[in-house]
Amino acid sequence: MNEIDRIHNLLEKEICDFSYPKTPELLYEPIKYIMGLRAKRIRPLFLLISYNLYKSDFSNVISPALAIEFFHNFTLLHDDIMDNAPLRRGNSTVHMKWDKNIAILSGDAMMIQAYKLISQVESHYLEKVLDIFGKTANQVCEGQQFDMDFENSSKVTISEYIRMIQFKTAVLLAASLKIGAIIGGASEKDQNHLYEFGINIGLAFQLKDDLLDVFGNESFGKQTGGDILSNKKTFLYLKALQLADEITKKKLQDYYSKSTNSINKVNSVKTIFSKLNVDKHTVALMKSYYVKGMKHLDLVESKNKATLIYFANNLMDRTS
């Protein structure tokens, strides 16, 4: 068993053993359901691995790690409603299994639980950790609003898209790393380098997600072509508009102006993306962010970075 597996198993046990109130059942059962689905646990793992750069006893850092996972899953419950997504991790989304009202309220309860857990951080770290957590939570909400705004805008730029995924995805990864470093007693310099590492790896991670949504397989755990069906203006779409001739550009914009669940739409858009080599452009941008992230990690003053490097590489190389 490698170090990541050991930490992941520790985290899974804490999630499995977490105690929920028994009533009202329809408030807590959806939370147990979403938290119990098989998941990578990337954000809390980043927090624990970052902490482990400096200290080995995880007893002081389990609560904030759980807080990060509760918060992340809260955002998933609400995002899935907004996206009308049928699948999450290969299973029915909460609003499909129960209903939208239940998903909203269970999500709210998860957000409250996240703050209760993060507040258990040792008192001399608490103010700084709460400040980072609160700022990050707000940015995640801003990122989701930017994402929804883009659905009704015909003038989204690639730089605006990158800002959106930075807020919606990358900042929580970065905050997880920084919180772990703070509680581990890292220097201010190391905290900041780990944060920037997280931002860049987070951007690369989301671009990989966008790529897998179109070119991945069924093991990805979400509806194939879901971003296309939802008319999400991802990097792949925006880059295609840059590269396409006027006829292809008009065709692509026409596909994204209609709401349909047709597999023909997915296949047609995917064909356009393939002809324009959008997948290769996406991979190139991913690699550029990965390199930037690794430069920041190189400057972190710790001899225990092998596990973090291995974990980051696995995220970049994944096929699901």
CA 249 distance to own-chain centroid = 30
For 63-83, b/e burial (b = at least 16 CB within 10 A) is bbbbbbbbbbbbbbbbbbbeb
Peptide bond connecting 21 to the previous residue in cis, omega within 30 degrees of 0: no
With tokens 């299994």, the residue in question is 97
Least confident of 56-65, 200-209, 214-223, 272-281: 214-223
With tokens 């225990």, the residue in question is 304
Residue 249: is it exposed, middle or buried by C-beta count within 10 angstroms (0-12/13-18/19+)? middle
What letter does residue 312 receive in the DSSP assignment? Answer: H
Asked whether residue 205 carries a pLDDT value surpassing 60, the answer given is: yes
Number of domains in the chain: 1
Could you tell me the end-to-end alpha-carbon distance of the chain, in angstroms, rounded to an integer? 22
Domain ranges, residue 212: 3-317
Q: What is the pLDDT of residues 110-120, one digit of tens each?
A: 999 999 999 99
Which band of pLDDT confidence, cut at 50, 70 and 90, is reported for residue 319? confident
What CATH number does the domain containing 53 carry?
1.10.600.10
Tell me what the pLDDT averaged over the chain comes to. Answer: 94
Spatial distance between the Cα atoms of 34 and 45, rounded to a whole number of angstroms: 18
The H or E element spanning position 91 is: strand 91-92
What letter does residue 53 receive in the DSSP assignment? Answer: T
Asked whether residue 217 carries a pLDDT value surpassing 70, the answer given is: no
Asked whether residue 315 carries a pLDDT value surpassing 70, the answer given is: yes
Tokens found for residue 68: 């990060």
Asked whether residue 222 carries a pLDDT value surpassing 60, the answer given is: no
**Alpha-carbon separation of residue 97 from 23, 81, 225 (angstroms):** 19, 12, 21
At residue 93, the pLDDT reads 96
Q: What is the pLDDT of residues 13-43, one digit of tens each?
A: 999 999 999 999 999 999 999 999 999 999 9
At residue 220, the pLDDT reads 45
Spatial distance between the Cα atoms of 50 and 183, rounded to a whole number of angstroms: 9
Q: What is the pLDDT of residues 179-201, one digit of tens each?
A: 999 999 999 999 999 999 999 99
Q: What is the pLDDT of residues 135-178, one digit of tens each?
A: 999 999 999 999 999 988 889 999 999 999 999 999 999 999 99
